[in-house]
Structure 1
Amino acid sequence: MKRFVLMLCLLAAPAWAVEPDEVLSDPVLEQRARDISKGLRCLVCQNESIDESHASLAKDLRVLVRERLVAGDSDTQTVDFIVERYGEYVLLNPRASGSTLLLWAAGPLMLLLAGAIGFGYVRKRAGAKAPQEDALSVEEEARLRQILKE
């Protein structure tokens, strides 16, 4: 039984990041804040959402999200405010617009380019033939037959 309780506590560990003093009294607003927080990156931890992070900056961002929601901002306005303040890097799933389109397209474009270069190289090597030697002269054929008969 103790192991079961311990496993449940370990599985719920990311939920411990949100401290009780941060939780909003309105459950609908709190759920919206949680949903927004799951999509924002902790700038200290870098691969954790601010909802999971224990860093003080993550706490400040969670509080800021809740303040914006209480002030009446929509989810989009709240995210836009934070992105404006901290940059696109704060989003765990960056938007596919502007300069990020180049980053999104760079991988497939490089793969296509490498495939085209490799295909061209293989075709060129397959097309290169061994130099053709002249056919044997009559005297050389006769000498070859003589050698083979011996």
Structure 2
Amino acid sequence: MVRIACLILALILPALVAADVADVYDFSDRAQEQRYRNLIAELRCPKCQNQNIADSNAPISKDMRDVVYRMMNDGASNEEIVESLVGRFGEFVRYKPEFDSRTFLLWATPAIAVFGGLLVVAGVVIRSRRSGSESPALSAEEKARVDKMLADQDRPS
């Protein structure tokens, strides 16, 4: 009987040790909980390439969720919380970086690419119209050959 109990314990114990404890936070109302969920969904994990801190299992994401919860309880606004995390981890934690001198190229690249593409298309169209409208003049010899061909074509066989 002791062996069976030890076997069951040996099978169950690793599962209990490996079980991850979910974040449990107490909120005063649903609005505060929704605000928390929105904040952690819009912040990126610094370790995970493209995952927000709500979905990430990285220890740094857990720390960031704790900071967000603690700052919310201390009465900080969303902007203060985000700026605090940006100050600590860098601009990378934002999914939508603010427009400033450092992020100008990031925001302007799509517009520059579209404008450049339109310029290339316009150049090709203008160049093709110019070359298509200019027909080379025929020399006197070429005109005579064309007239002869047309005359031969008009004669009945």
Note whether the superposition's TM-score is higher than 0.5.
yes
2:97 equivalent in structure 1: 94
Alpha-carbon distance in 1 for matches of 2:100, 2:22? 35
Does 2:123 match 1:120?
A: yes
Does 2:39 match 1:62?
A: no
* Bigger relative CO (Cα 8 Å, ≥ 6 apart): 1
Alpha-carbon distance in 2 for matches of 1:32, 1:72? 12
Among 53, 56, 62, the residue aligned to 1:50: 53
Alpha-carbon distance in 1 for matches of 2:97, 2:21? 24
Alpha-carbon distance in 1 for matches of 2:127, 2:119? 12
> Measured at CA, do residues 64 and 120 of structure 1 come closer, stay the same or move farther in structure 2, by a change above 3 Å?
same
With normalisation by structure 1, the TM-score equals 0.70
> Measured at CA, do residues 145 and 103 of structure 1 come closer, stay the same or move farther in structure 2, by a change above 3 Å?
closer
Alpha-carbon distance in 1 for matches of 2:85, 2:116? 37
> Measured at CA, do residues 83 and 132 of structure 1 come closer, stay the same or move farther in structure 2, by a change above 3 Å?
same
> Measured at CA, do residues 119 and 53 of structure 1 come closer, stay the same or move farther in structure 2, by a change above 3 Å?
same
Fraction of identical pairs, as percent: 27
Shift of 1:71: 2.8
Does 2:138 match 1:133?
A: yes
Shift of 1:120: 1.3
Alpha-carbon distance in 1 for matches of 2:71, 2:150? 101
Give the number of the structure whose alpha-carbon radius of gyration is greater. Answer: 2
Shift of 1:24: 3.0
Alpha-carbon distance in 2 for matches of 1:109, 1:146? 54
With normalisation by structure 2, the TM-score equals 0.68
Alpha-carbon distance in 2 for matches of 1:79, 1:127? 56
> Measured at CA, do residues 145 and 67 of structure 1 come closer, stay the same or move farther in structure 2, by a change above 3 Å?
closer
> Measured at CA, do residues 42 and 18 of structure 1 come closer, stay the same or move farther in structure 2, by a change above 3 Å?
farther
Q: Which 5+ residue runs of structure 1 have no aligned equivalent? A: 1-16
> Measured at CA, do residues 20 and 90 of structure 1 come closer, stay the same or move farther in structure 2, by a change above 3 Å?
closer
2:148 equivalent in structure 1: 144
Shift of 1:77: 0.8
2:11 equivalent in structure 1: none
Report if the CA contact (8 A) 1:40-1:49 is conserved: yes
Cα deviation per residue 1:73-117 (whole Å; 9 max; x = unaligned)?
222111110011111110122223332233212212221122112
> Measured at CA, do residues 45 and 137 of structure 1 come closer, stay the same or move farther in structure 2, by a change above 3 Å?
closer
Q: Which 5+ residue runs of structure 2 have no aligned equivalent? A: 1-19
